[in-house]
Amino acid sequence: MATEPLTEQAGLQGPAAWEQEAEREHVHGLGPWRLGLRRLRRNRVAIGFGVLFVLLVLSCLAAPLWAKHVAHTTPTENHLSDTIKLDGKTTNVVGLDGVPIGPTYQGEFFLGADPNGRDIMVRLLYGGRNSLMIGVVAALMTTILSVVLGVIAGYFRGWPDLTIRSLLDIMWSFPVLILGVALGVALALGGLQLGPITIGGDSLLIPIFIIGLVYVPYMARPVRGQVLALREKEFVEAARAQGAGPLRIMFSEVVPNLASTILVFFTLLIANAVLLESALSFLGAGVRPPNPSWGTMIDEGVDRIATAPHLTIVPGLMLVLTVLSLNVFGDGVRDALDPRAKVRLEH
Amino acid sequence: MGRFIVRRVIQMVLVMFAVSVLTFLIFNVIPNSDPAVRMSGRQASESTIEAIREEWGFNDSLPQQYITTMEKVITGDLKSQFTQLSVGKEIVKGLPRTFSLAIGAALLWMFVAICFGLYSAVKAGKFADRFLTIIALIGISMPVFWIGALANYYLGFKLGWFPNGGYVEFTEDPIDWFYHLILPWTVLAILFIGFYSRVLRSNVLDTINEDYVRTARAKGLGERQIMIRHVLRNSMIPIVTLWGLDFGAVLGGGAILTETVFDLQGVGQYTAEAIGQLDVPPVLAVTMFSAFFIVLLNAVVDILYAYLDPRIRLQ
Amino acid sequence: MGKLGRRALALLLAALSMSVIAACGGDDDSGDSSGTGGGGGEAKNGGSITISQTSQPDFMDPALTYTVNGIEPLWLVYTPLLTYPRTGDAEKDSLVVPGLAEDLPTISKDGKTYELTLRKGLKYSDGSPVKASDFEHAVKRVLNLESGGSAFYLGIEGAQDYIDADKCDADIKGIEADDKTGTITINLSEPDGSFSNVLAMWFVGLVPGDTPCKNLTESPPPGVGPYKVTESVPNRQFVLEKNTNFPDLGPDIPAGHVDKITTKIVKSAQRQAQDVISGELDYMQDPPPADIKPEVKAKYSDRYKEITTASTYYMFMNNRVAPFDKKEVRDAVNIGLDKPALARLFAGEVAPGCSFLPPGQPGFDEALDVDDCPWGNPNEPPDIEKARQMIKDAGVAGADVTVYGNNDDPTDKVTEAYADQLTKLGFKAKPKILDGGVYFQTIGSAKEAPQTGFANWFQDFPHPKNFFFLVDGKSIQPTNNQNFGNVDDPEITKGIAELNQEPEMTDEVAAKWGDLNKKLVERAWIAPYGHRKLATFFSERMDFDNCARFHPVYFNDYSSFCLK
Amino acid sequence: MSVEATEPRADDGAPGDAAPLVEVEHLKVFFGIKQGILVEREVARVHAVNDVTFSVDEGETLGLVGESGCGKTTLSRAIMRLIDSTEGSLRFRGEDVTKAGRRQMQPLRREMQMVFQDPFASLNPRKRVGQIIGMPLRLHGSDRQGVEPQVRELLDKVGLHPEHVNRYPHEFSGGQRQRIGVARALALEPRLIVLDEPVSALDVSVQAQIINLLDDLQDQFKLTYLFVAHDLSVVRHVSDRIAVMYLGKLMEVSPAEELYTKPIHPYTSALLAAIPIPDPRENRRRERLVVSGEPPNPINPPSGCVFHPRCPRATQVCREEEPPLVRYPNGHLAACHHPLNVSDAEIRDAARDPSSPVSAGDSLPGTTADAA
Amino acid sequence: MADALLSVEDLRVSFATEEGVVEAVDGVSFDLAAGEVLAVVGESGSGKSVTAMTLMGLTRSPNARFEGTAQYKGTELIGASEDELRRVRGAEIAMIFQDPMTSLNPVQRIGKQIVEQIQEHEGLPDQQARERTVELLERVGIPRARERVDNYPHEFSGGMRQRVMIALALSCNPSVLIADEPTTALDVTIQAQILQRMRDLREETGAAVILVTHDLGVVADIADRIAVMYAGRIVEEGTLDQIFYDPQHPYTWGLLGSITRVDKPRPARLPAIAGLPPSLANRPQGCHFRPRCPHEFSECSKVPPLEAHVQGNPEHRDRCWLSVDEKLAKREVLPGEIGLASKEHAPA
């Protein structure tokens, strides 16, 4: 971490020979952050997708506005027997045979309706809030747990390390999705009791908890590895030589050096968490109806793929767009800051 | 090498033990509800719940409960609460299908990912690289069940290019077997291709800058030889570990979504159904089973790895 | 797994007892075919067909199976002492006739003793002779295996003692069988007007007396019936082949047409429908899924029909919990319930109605489902304004209501729609979707005290008793309660008790049940909204006109299937 | 060649005005090599530092020299109490700190500081220079406001601009960074500074600058240095005495100039001979003795004298008996059965030094030489 | 020089980096005669390694730009195609790298790595190539070479690996050997062994050597001629004795002066060059050494040419505006013994 990793990232780089010579006399070099930012800014695609992600988040946050002022409905309001004027013709929102209308591209039912006659656009935005919320909070949970565990294991070594590492190794042995599913099934009924806090089985906190947990090994292991490397750095020895205690060393010497890794992981974790949420929901072990999320919407839609393909395609595209924007942006951030961070995914 | 293998096998057994303990804890300790009630599924009477409690020993101490559970798993006495069918038998029945899916997909994704990753790395920074990068990222951004459902419906049913899901035994008709698996293989591979090609690309770029590659170049070797003998082989080593994990996961029924979408009725789909029914014993068994597969594959890969990379053996 | 696997379960398992028995095949709104065996020509014999089910039958064992997946094939393999005819005439087919018994039972005056005699010379499919004592053994298996059907046979004297003994070969005091004469005497501890129906259930289809007391799904025992099971691989397929040892039981109980029926388990209902369209499958046991149905109806109506079953879908309203403790509120819900809207969620698979008793049940009055419905014609939009006003008047507007439902398709959608309708009536309603696996258990718990929610029932046999226990004050329990709304109308409770004593279903008794039904509906104890339809869909090579017999109790009759 | 005579100095605490600042007695540092599944156990031990005894007096500079893997860096870390020693004792200004915990060390940290080898790794890249140099001050009680002027002063002392206080390490060159490292070590006005290869990562022209700086600071602040290096030519310029290590053991301890002119131990002599002289003619004149072989594995050090497998003078006794540290005139110690550059008389007068390893034999060179 | 084996003319190499364009090599010219040892000396960042590697085409990358020529036996190296270069690499010009720990492929047996090169250039059958490899390993002093040929690099110590690297470099009898800091990563006793071996081998093979190093001790040991580089340029070039005993450039003075020695009494104070090496991306105008030079004057803002100044020594060239006399006068100020020695050996 100490020397700037000159990476392969598109564009500028010196060959190995040059780096070797340059390595030792790096006068007035750029700081890792500045360098990262500069690289990132050059990566227009990544920036573009980053902006797209922000737009997606903003539009999901604006869901109530759309619902109230454009669609004139709520995410839960049924329009089973309603009709709507389309090109002057009166059309059932839901046909007698249960087939809902497709996209109208007008204010109401912009992206069509679901079998309950609910406005897909409205549900899409509200569902996005849930999906994104789960993604962000779960990623946050993973990050915090991983950093705490990784730092403790990497810094103290010995038995705390052995314990944490074994635990992570064991968790690592489970396929992400199956571990998620197992937890989902275990928690579906009674919910979770964490000390005095009880979380109901259909609470959104359950998928957050599950997703936040299953990715811990994927982040904690690299963090631990990095802490192990950092702890051998002379500046950590220097701090110890000056009498700094373990806590101070961890927080003021080690953790700041993890910042770029954390940032990279966080972005990519959100993407994976959103994706895992959809998979768990699809399997019935994630978000429980009636809470909408993109995963549950796809799950509901797949059954009507022949008569109402928009039910599957629309939330799926939204999901892909969101995850893709995070992945591209995250990839850009990684290339700019920490080219070696890797996240494994579910199947 | 012999010692290494023995050590690795002992380690594998220990990890499997730990995995079984963790699985047991997930199902019997974490939940906030009576495990007997959960286990008994739908329309259980008090007496059924009581019988299950008795059968699984939920009143006993935890270690005793663990032993009871493991006895059931190992002796194949584990039965679905829902169908009363032996979970072990059902898993065995699903294995050929799961293996067919896993092996084909794993070969496909490895092959394509190597091509993509290598090409991308060689063309780093150029248009081809950026294009492949975006393709790869799209690949890892698509939910398998979504793309699978769309492919199945549009390519399988609407256009009729492929069978509409389902599975044909290899022994019955190898060509039809292959034909039925093309879509599932492709869909499952898409995600891995995306991921592996990215990892390989970055590994290759790391390796290209290694001193020994410079040495190889200074030796006057051709670019192709350098890439294959020196760069690719060394870049592949970390990927083999990853591959072991993922291949193990898919072998062990990890491809729940793909199997379900294409109605392959392998171990994964069996799990998916059990989830839908909250049928605990199959989920417990598959969870343990798939982790065992990963642990096993991991050990195999490590041994392979020690063969590939002689440095490992000494550690 | 998405809905692919769940939807089929939904249909078949949503009912409390999971047994689905249809009635009244005449109520056929899909066209001219009445589905009788004698339509336009002669049914052809021979050939093999391949059909499909969405999920493995719960058990391939007559003593245990309690899902339509198992019953539909197995009732043709294991004929009980009494049975239902298979003639194609719906009315006739819902009346109990002698099966392996020579005649209908002789019932003692007090209604407690049933006497039957086994026909002579019967042979199981494996050639072994049928003995009178095999009946007792069949009952023993039901009781010993704690089958879901065991409750039906607890009325037999000594049944509980037998269960407590926990030994397969212990004696059931109330059953005496003489293998020489073939006489069978059954003593009940209390009279039971539906016991003949109970004796006609597949649970007690006769099996050899040495059949072990264990789940025989993987090697079903021989039985007496038009077909025998020759292969059973759980979750993959099972095969029925013609039973060459099937004795002549009279014209109303015919043998089958095709020689071999292979049933494949295909998890995706969509795939099944597509395969039936393309001819890879000849018949699907489930109705085509909502997604494919428009196409099926449009293009393949010549091999597709829908029949309303003896089932009722209703919302329970817990009258022990506010706000449904007020009659005005329950009235208002009945008025405001948008039945046609809910029917759309079933993609037309529900016939809107008001009656609790479904068509086909004695006492069913068709008028109650249409014009005589006290809450307005169920086929028309409700008077929401009126209902709103009533709720306002009752002073409960704005009350929080949690609406229970499960995640089976389309129950979840129904629940959400119902919650939305309650919201429109002035409540603050929120759906609570539980997993299908635990739903009925949860709402049957007094601790949970659910306010209102989804419920339904499919008949086990054509007797109103089979429906009325759902609203019987005596059946209220703290757990596993099936009277979800805690309905305890003194008059109705008393009426049920009295009518249960009637040994025979005379027109008079049926009319009395009808009165109870009307009272139940008028007093708004529950909010029924319709009866479920099922469908038959054949491949092109099947002879749809002559061979699609629909049985009022057991649905599609495989023994009628034939090729063109 | 005349040597500016360093006063003969008794090593074992002869009466002087000051007690030794650091005393290391029979210090051993072994690293366990752990292996195992889930539960790890020690399968082998690296004998990094193997029974070493010496002391550093106030104000002097002790050079500690040896090739990579000889244990010199481990020894310096052990003295700084950055790693635990396995056996032996460690005293700082008479106080036993062998097992001292962080609390006990805290006040002593003021007095002992360290400068590290790698100017890039020794400064936290995420912290500003001010924070880096200010950290020891903050740790020892200064408040935030009080620190900055001190930091500026320190920067000035080591030859950097005080304005650079808000810069990050990456804005400096290697030499400048090493100055920052020195400033950090100086912050608490310590008595002892352990310098771990402080110049080996620097270019020749910058090396000289840093060595000069260290020299100046020592004069200015009366510092005591423990100067660890692999390069005998660099050590020479700063050291009063030099200790030569090989495979975890002390081979020779000598006043600086005497070591270069009169190396007693064949290993020292080989080291000196191996250093190429940047003077072509001198080089051509010089007869170079190249030692063959490579240092053995410290997991399994050779028996007897650890240098015997490579030593041109090795005899049977070298394989069998570990030579004690023997005292020669001028406070010159060497652990060798077949010493160089000593007269017979000196051999006769030589005595076993108490700082010899416990496992060393008693035979002195004279006796064994006859035996050989 | 007409008889030069390798002739480099005005070589310029620049790289586009994150921090702008860096001129790593800025107009380097030298000739290498058959059998001679040319030492390229300089501190890190002086461009010495880049120069050496550029000759082999090892610095080629999309971000690099090259100007000038390098002729090897009439073949142009700088603009050569990869195929042409491949024929030269390993066979005609071979290279030894600094870090023996990373320069060998860790997952290939060392024998194979050498055989690979032999077969690439000479197409020998396996058995013959293997025999040659064993021979080579014996020649560089690896004991039990026949067994060890099948070992992996990690089974060798650093010194042994460097011997393997040398064997590898010599395997096709190259005419030019480029050794880039071959001993820097080694301990001093091992370094001595390697240097000795290199000296012996050089005599045996007669290969010309370009030795890239920062260590003047090594240079004094082995070199025939020296080129001193500073910030991308050669600032002084001459024979071993010329550079050591009659250095002309103030930077060379500083370099020689700041060396610590074990064979002479230590000076009270080390003579050091003041200031910092110039920033790589941002070098001073004119003479690059100007900011650190104690003798800087107005002329120094122009780039001094590399020319011979000392009479009668046309091969002794330097880049300094001072006249020879001025230098002689000023050099006395520097107390380095070697530099002073030149007085005794003043040009005749």
Contact B150 A316 (CB under 8 A): yes
What is the CB neighbour count within 10 angstroms for residue C168?
A: 16
Residue in A with minimal Cα distance to C345: A98
Contact D109 A2 (CB under 8 A): no
The answer to whether B127 faces chain E, any CB pair under 8 Å, is no
Q: Rounded to a whole number, what is the distance in Å from the CA of E59 to chain A's nearest CA?
A: 6
Facing residue for E262 by CB, picked from D68, D275, D288: D275
Instruction: Tell me if C273 is assigned to some domain.
Output: no
The answer to whether B64 faces chain E, any CB pair under 8 Å, is no
pLDDT of residue C399: 92
Q: Which residues of B touch A345 (CB under 8 A)?
A: 140, 191, 195
Residue D204's pLDDT band (boundaries 50, 70, 90)?
confident
pLDDT of residue A30: 57
Element (H, E) at D318: helix D316-320
pLDDT of residue C6: 30
Chains D and B touch (3+ CB pairs under 8 A): yes
pLDDT over threshold 90, residue C116: yes
Facing residue for B84 by CB, picked from C2, C59, C440: C59
- Size of the A and E interface in Cβ pairs below 8 Å: 73
Contact A323 B150 (CB under 8 A): no
Higher pLDDT, A180 or C503: A180
Phi/psi-derived region of residue A71, left when phi > 0, alpha when psi is between -120 and 50, beta in every other case: alpha
pLDDT over threshold 90, residue C288: no
Query: Could you tell me the pTM of the whole model?
Result: 0.85
Element (H, E) at C296: helix C293-299
pLDDT over threshold 80, residue A81: yes
pLDDT of residue D101: 83
When scoring A7, A9, A21, A42 by the number of chain E Cβ atoms within 10 A, the one with the most, hence best to mutate, is: A21
Chains A and C touch (3+ CB pairs under 8 A): yes
pLDDT of residue A27: 38
Distance of alpha carbon E90 from alpha carbon B221, whole angstroms: 9
Q: Tens digit of pLDDT for each residue in D83-104?
A: 889 989 999 988 898 888 888 8
pLDDT over threshold 50, residue C147: yes
Structure ipTM over 0.90, yes or no? no
The answer to whether A161 faces chain D, any CB pair under 8 Å, is no
Instruction: For residue C68, give the 3-state DSSP assignment.
Output: helix
- Within 404-423 of C, beta carbons closer than 8 Å to A belong to 407, 409-410, 412-413, 415-417, 419-421, 423
User: Token pair of E63, please?
Assistant: 């971000």
Tell whether C551 and C484 lie within a shared domain.
no
Amino acid making up residue C441: Q
Q: Tens digit of pLDDT for each residue in D105-164?
A: 888 888 899 999 888 888 988 888 999 999 888 888 878 788 889 999 999 989 888 888
* pLDDT above 70 coverage of chain E, percent: 93
Q: Rounded to a whole number, what is the distance in Å from the CA of B130 to chain C's nearest CA?
A: 35
Distance of alpha carbon E153 from alpha carbon E99, whole angstroms: 13
Q: Rounded to a whole number, what is the distance in Å from the CA of D58 to chain A's nearest CA?
A: 20
Chain E neighbours, 3+ Cβ pairs < 8 A: A, B, D
> What single DSSP character describes residue C394?
T
- Within 51-70 of E, beta carbons closer than 8 Å to B belong to 53, 56-58, 62
- Within 30-49 of E, beta carbons closer than 8 Å to A belong to 43-47, 49
Contact A307 C407 (CB under 8 A): no
Residue E149's pLDDT band (boundaries 50, 70, 90)?
very high
User: Token pair of E100, please?
Assistant: 């023996």
Distance of alpha carbon E165 from alpha carbon E99, whole angstroms: 10
For residue C130, the enclosing domain spans 31-261+538-560
- A167's CB contacts (< 8 A; 6+ apart) are none
Element (H, E) at C232: strand C227-233
Residue in E with minimal Cα distance to D293: E190
Asked whether C310 and C24 are in contact (CB, 8 A), the reply is: yes
Q: What are phi and psi of C252, to 5 degrees?
A: -80, -15
Distance of alpha carbon A268 from alpha carbon A330, whole angstroms: 6
pLDDT of residue D293: 83
Torsion over CA: C501, C504, C506, C510 (sign): positive
Residue in E with minimal Cα distance to A21: E45
pLDDT of residue C270: 84
Domains of chain B, by residue range, sit at 2-75, 87-276
* Among the listed residues D251, D232, D371, the one whose alpha carbon sits nearest the alpha carbon of residue D306: D251
Residue A3's pLDDT band (boundaries 50, 70, 90)?
very low
Distance of alpha carbon E287 from alpha carbon C449, whole angstroms: 93
Regions of chain B where pLDDT drops below 70: 1, 30-33, 37-47, 311-315
Residue C437's pLDDT band (boundaries 50, 70, 90)?
low
pLDDT of residue E4: 83
What is the CB neighbour count within 10 angstroms for residue E127?
A: 8
Residue E340's pLDDT band (boundaries 50, 70, 90)?
very low
Domains of chain A, by residue range, sit at 32-347
Chains E and B touch (3+ CB pairs under 8 A): yes
The answer to whether B58 faces chain A, any CB pair under 8 Å, is no
Chains E and A touch (3+ CB pairs under 8 A): yes
Q: Tens digit of pLDDT for each residue in D264-297?
A: 999 999 888 888 888 888 877 777 777 888 888 8
pLDDT of residue B10: 87
Contact D67 E273 (CB under 8 A): no
- Size of the D and E interface in Cβ pairs below 8 Å: 135
Q: What is the tally of structural domains in chain C?
A: 2
Residue A43's pLDDT band (boundaries 50, 70, 90)?
confident
When scoring A19, A23, A174 by the number of chain B Cβ atoms within 10 A, the one with the most, hence best to mutate, is: A174
Higher pLDDT, D121 or A339: D121
Q: Tens digit of pLDDT for each residue in C170-216?
A: 999 999 999 999 999 999 998 888 899 999 999 999 999 999 998 89
pLDDT over threshold 50, residue E336: no
Tell whether C516 and C432 lie within a shared domain.
yes
Mean pLDDT (chain D) is 85
Q: What stretches of chain D adopt beta strand conformation (E)?
A: 20-37, 39-57, 61-65, 87-92, 95-96, 112-115, 192-196, 224-229, 241-246, 249-255, 326-328, 332-334, 351-352
Mean pLDDT (chain C) is 86
Tell whether C332 and C470 lie within a shared domain.
yes
Chain B neighbours, 3+ Cβ pairs < 8 A: A, C, D, E
Phi/psi-derived region of residue E282, left when phi > 0, alpha when psi is between -120 and 50, beta in every other case: beta
pLDDT of residue C59: 87
Contact A80 C289 (CB under 8 A): no
Facing residue for C344 by CB, picked from A76, A98, A307: A98
Torsion over CA: E261, E264, E266, E267 (sign): negative
pLDDT of residue A188: 72
Q: Rounded to a whole number, what is the distance in Å from the CA of D176 to chain E's nearest CA?
A: 9
* Among the listed residues E28, E3, E24, E29, the one whose alpha carbon sits nearest the alpha carbon of residue E14: E24
Phi/psi-derived region of residue A88, left when phi > 0, alpha when psi is between -120 and 50, beta in every other case: left
pLDDT of residue B33: 64
> Class of the B87-276 domain?
mainly alpha
Chain D neighbours, 3+ Cβ pairs < 8 A: A, B, E
Q: Give the helix, strand, coil percentages of chain C, each rounded to 5.
A: 30, 20, 50
The answer to whether E317 faces chain B, any CB pair under 8 Å, is no
Q: Tens digit of pLDDT for each residue in A187-237?
A: 876 677 776 777 776 788 888 988 999 999 888 988 888 888 888 888 998
pLDDT of residue C526: 92
Q: What are phi and psi of D64, to 5 degrees?
A: -120, 115
Per-residue DSSP letters for D41-85? EEEEEEEEEEEEEEEEETT-EEEEE--TTSSHHHHHHHHTTSS--
Position of tokens 């090259």? E66
Q: Tens digit of pLDDT for each residue in A251-309?
A: 888 888 888 888 888 988 999 999 999 999 888 888 877 778 899 899 888 888 888 89
Arch. (CATH architecture) of A32-347: Orthogonal Bundle (1.10)
Facing residue for A18 by CB, picked from E59, E278, E282: E59
Facing residue for B269 by CB, picked from C1, C16, C437: C1
Asked whether D298 and D248 are in contact (CB, 8 A), the reply is: yes
Instruction: Tell me if C458 is assigned to some domain.
Output: yes
C428: domain CATH number?
A: 3.10.105.10
Rounded to the nearest 5 degrees, what angle is found at the Cα of D63, between the Cα atoms of D62 and D65?
145
Facing residue for A283 by CB, picked from C1, C409, C423: C1
The answer to whether A15 faces chain E, any CB pair under 8 Å, is yes
Q: Rounded to a whole number, what is the distance in Å from the CA of A264 to chain D's nearest CA?
A: 17
Asked whether B78 and B281 are in contact (CB, 8 A), the reply is: yes
| Rg (alpha carbons) of chain D, rounded to whole number | 22
The answer to whether A35 faces chain E, any CB pair under 8 Å, is yes
Average pLDDT for C267-271: 84
Contact A238 D125 (CB under 8 A): no
